Amino acid sequence: MIGMSRPRPEQLPLWDVPEWVRMVGVFDLETTGVDVTTDRIVTAHVGLLDAEGRVIRARDWLADPGVEIPEGASAIHGISTAHARANGRPAAEVVGEVVAAVSGLLDAGIPVVAYNAPYDFSLLKYESLRHGVAPIVNPSPVIDPLVVDKAYDRWRRGKRTLQVVAAHYAVRLEAAHEASADAVAAGRVAQALAERFAPWLPGTVHELHTRQIGWARAQAESLTEYFIRIGRLDPEERLDGRWPIR
């Protein structure tokens, strides 16, 4: 399957194109760090793409996280502590609105694409608990292009960052590590995966969601064994394979 040319949706028989290609939600966070339990939201994006990957709805947020934004995080997403304090809204308000926006998509049965979903959904959960907002505890249906790509093209060499995977599937990603750019690119990668692997995908997005739970667990187990072999983890350590939320 590696190296196959990717047809456009209109070039495939209708029954081969997964139904969810026609409309997907997208969700991404930029944050103060990588610890989902303690780090905070700085920017967020929730949007909606049509079958051609066009943005038909979009909303962005800038929060004052209430803590210093480390220089390393600012270097990635471009938001300084001073800028967030001067221009960001209170974190509790932002968290509540992001939860409402994501929940609205899920409640409508629209799949939400999030690249490396356990990071964004878990961090949003802990931010919700921190600010007294009812959290999303069982998001579904979710599509994680990272998990799907690894499942259907397991042996491809190289990194699996969003930038690398987007380039592999000929999806343009401008302004990487900007929440809106990353969210939209992830949605288009998910649609590209659906087109590329249409004959092998589950029949419904809910079945795809269920399969990703198993795929993510197996991928974490495989990576755990690799890390133990190269000495990056101790033999008793295990990577967390829970998906789409930890």
In a domain, 207, yes or no: yes
CA atoms within 13 A on the CB side of 19: 11
User: Is the bond into 141 cis (omega within 30 degrees of 0)?
Assistant: yes
Q: Report helix, strand or coil for 13.
A: coil
- For residue 106, the tally of other CB atoms under 10 A from its CB is 18
The number of distinct structural domains making up the chain is 1
More confident residue, 108 or 15: 108
In a domain, 30, yes or no: yes
In a domain, 244, yes or no: no
In a domain, 145, yes or no: yes
From residue 34, give the alpha-carbon distance in Å to each of 30, 41, 76, 133, 167.
10, 11, 12, 21, 24
In a domain, 36, yes or no: yes
Q: Could you give phi then psi for residue 241, rounded to 5 degrees?
A: -100, 10
Give the pLDDT band of residue 1 (cuts 50, 70, 90): very low
In a domain, 238, yes or no: no
Among residues of the chain, what percentage have pLDDT more than 90? 89
Express each pLDDT in 31-71 by its tens digit: 999 999 999 999 999 999 999 999 999 999 999 999 999 99
Contact 92, 131 (CB under 8 A): yes
CATH number at residue 119: 3.30.420.10
> Could you tell me the residue range of the domain that residue 93 belongs to?
9-229
In a domain, 78, yes or no: yes
Express each pLDDT in 80-111 by its tens digit: 999 999 999 999 999 999 999 999 999 999 99
Q: How many residues are listed for the chain in this entry? A: 246
Residue with tokens 């780090």: 39
Give the pLDDT band of residue 174 (cuts 50, 70, 90): confident
For residues 36-55, b (16+ Cβ closer than 10 Å) or e, as one string? beebbbbbbbbbbbeeebee
- Whole-angstrom distance, CA of residue 125 vs CA of residue 37: 9
